[in-house]
């Protein structure tokens, strides 16, 4: 387990967090600009020294200000990946990787082949950084960080400087990291779909405070989050490709039911993450056979909360197996339909974002 407690005041901003995070998988630090994501990451890295701070990773103390313990960044066994890859322009990709290994004491090149194959950069080894795309440079930067043999990998908005095409190029490699790495990853992002695709655990930050922390699917489905997160509201489903229908649709299944989506070129049995935005869910008091919406579910209203947008509310809904959905509707619709906790309704999913 990672235990992180930091209190830091700087330029009118105060970070005050107390977290318990899993030792494996990707933990996303998510929040709007100025929420404290990068400040928290820099505290974990030892780049910001919190006067009141304590950090343990797998029971190893990296910082405990009360006891006068503070490991500087270069003595913390961690890997760092920032927005810019910062590769040495006069060295080839291979030489960049070798330099990183030597600086960390990994002179034998432990994990070299595994890292370059995991990131798909073997064809790039003899190229100069200036000849690489932004996505390729970031994959090299991640491989360099892994070759330092870190106990913890820190990634500060590694896709923020990339255009959409390059983001889509690198995302599958980051998913492989989540699936294959045995070390924890702290991943800073302000992009909801990026977080939904990559994270296992989610920490929501606002004004330097932790407003929610927990498994991704459970945390995203909460209806009690601050109204400022309502615009990003939506849930993530882990589904399985069940079949490809004769009419061109693909059927996905999850514990709470099935979804029909446009054809996906994945064999039956494949795992597929989906995100359903609250704004893409409408409600009805009864099922209608004359609707073009294919994905409908009987649900029970669990909670109704206000949002920052006047005249709009967020409804938390539960399927029969307990799977949660969120629906963003107008206050007028809530009144017209009598939407209150405990009411059975039908959720109509207008669109499904496929995160793969």
Q: Which residue in this structure is represented by tokens 């003595």?
A: 75
pLDDT of 204 strictly over 90: yes
Task: Give the Cα separation of 245 and 251 in Å (integer).
Answer: 7
Q: Does residue 45 contact residue 37 with C-beta atoms inside 8 Å? A: no
**For residues 282-297, average pLDDT:** 88
Thinking of the domain 232-354, which architecture would CATH place it in? Beta Barrel (2.40)
pLDDT given for residue 12 in this prediction:
86
- pLDDT score at 110: 72
Q: How far is CA 28 from CA 141, 155, 158, 191, in A?
A: 19, 9, 12, 10
Burial tier of 215 (Cβ tally within 10 Å: 0-12, 13-18, 19+): middle
Q: Quick one: average pLDDT of 106-111?
A: 69
% of the chain exceeding 70 in pLDDT: 98
pLDDT over threshold 70, residue 109: no
Q: What is the pLDDT of residues 310-327, one digit of tens each?
A: 899 999 999 999 999 999
CB neighbours of residue 284 within 10 Å: 14
Across the range 10-24, mean pLDDT stands at 93
Residues in the chain: 356
pLDDT at residue 354 in the model? 78
Q: Please tell me if the domain spanning 2-222 has the same topology as the one spanning 232-354.
A: no
Mind listing the pLDDT tens digit for each residue in 217-258?
Answer: 999 998 888 776 777 788 999 999 999 999 999 999 999 999
Q: Characterize the bridge pairing of strands 152-156 and 184-189.
A: parallel
CATH architecture of 2-222: 3-Layer(aba) Sandwich (3.40)
Q: What percent of the chain has pLDDT over 90?
A: 66
> Quick count: other Cβ atoms within 10 Å of Cβ 21?
19
Task: State pLDDT tens for residues 31-47.
Answer: 888 899 999 999 999 99
Q: Does the pLDDT of residue 171 top 80, yes or no?
A: yes
Closest-CA residue to 320 (of 300, 341, 304, 305) = 300
Q: Pick left, alpha or beta for residue 302 (phi over 0 → left; psi -120 to 50 → alpha; otherwise beta).
A: alpha
How high is the mean pLDDT of the chain?
Answer: 91
In the chain, where are the structural domains located?
Answer: 2-222, 232-354
Split at pLDDT 50, 70, 90, the class of 160 is confident
Q: Would you place residue 107 in the very low, low, confident or very high pLDDT band (cuts 50, 70, 90)?
A: low
Q: Could you tell me if 313 and 334 are in contact, meaning their C-beta atoms sit under 8 angstroms apart?
A: yes
Alpha helices in 21-111 (DSSP H): 37-45, 93-104
Q: What is the average per-residue pLDDT within 53-77?
A: 94
Least-confidence region, from 70-74, 136-140, 198-202, 288-292 = 288-292
Give the Cα separation of 273 and 310 in Å (integer): 32
Q: Can you tell me the distance from the alpha carbon of 242 to that of 146, in angstroms, rounded to the nearest whole number?
A: 36
35 backbone dihedrals φ, ψ, rounded to 5° = -80, -20
SS3 297: strand
Q: What confidence tier does 306 reach under pLDDT thresholds 50, 70, 90? A: confident
Q: What is the pLDDT of residue 36?
A: 94
């Amino acid at each position: 387990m990672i235990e992180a407690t930091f209190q830091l005041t700087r330029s009118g901003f105060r970070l005050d967090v107390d977290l318990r995070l899993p030792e494996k998988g990707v933990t996303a630090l998510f929040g709007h600009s100025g929420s404290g994501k990068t400040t928290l990451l820099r505290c974990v890295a030892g780049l910001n020294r919190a006067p009141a701070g304590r950090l343990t990773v797998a029971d190893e103390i990296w910082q405990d200000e009360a006891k006068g313990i503070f490991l500087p960044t270069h003595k913390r066994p961690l890997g760092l990946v920032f927005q810019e890859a910062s590769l040495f322009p006069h060295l080839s990709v291979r030489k960049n990787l070798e330099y990183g290994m030597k600086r960390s004491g990994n002179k034998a090149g432990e994990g070299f082949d595994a890292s370059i194959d995991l990131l798909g950069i073997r064809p790039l080894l003899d190229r100069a950084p200036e000849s690489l795309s932004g996505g390729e440079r970031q994959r090299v930067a991640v491989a360099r960080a892994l070759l330092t043999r870190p106990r913890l990998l820190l990634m500060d908005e590694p896709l923020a400087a990339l255009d959409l095409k390059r983001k889509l190029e690198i995302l599958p490699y980051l998913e492989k990291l989540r699936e294959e790495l045995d070390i924890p990853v702290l991943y800073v992002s302000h992009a909801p779909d990026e977080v939904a695709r990559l994270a296992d655990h989610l920490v929501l930050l606002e004004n330097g405070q932790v407003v929610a922390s927990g498994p991704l699917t459970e945390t995203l489905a909460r209806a009690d989050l601050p109204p400022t997160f309502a615009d990003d509201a939506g849930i993530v489903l882990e589904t399985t490709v069940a079949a490809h229908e004769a009419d061109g649709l693909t059927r996905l299944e999850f514990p709470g039911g099935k979804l029909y989506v446009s054809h996906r070129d994945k064999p039956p049995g494949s795992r597929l993450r989906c995100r359903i935005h609250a704004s893409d869910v409408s409600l009805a008091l009864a099922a209608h056979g004359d609707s073009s919406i294919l994905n409908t579910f009987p649900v029970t209203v669990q909670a109704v909360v206000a949002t920052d947008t006047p005249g709009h509310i967020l409804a938390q809904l539960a399927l029969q197996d307990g799977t949660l959905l969120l629906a963003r509707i107008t206050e007028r619709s809530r009144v017209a339909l009598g939407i209150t906790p405990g009411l059975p309704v039908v959720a109509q999913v207008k669109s499904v974002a496929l995160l793969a």
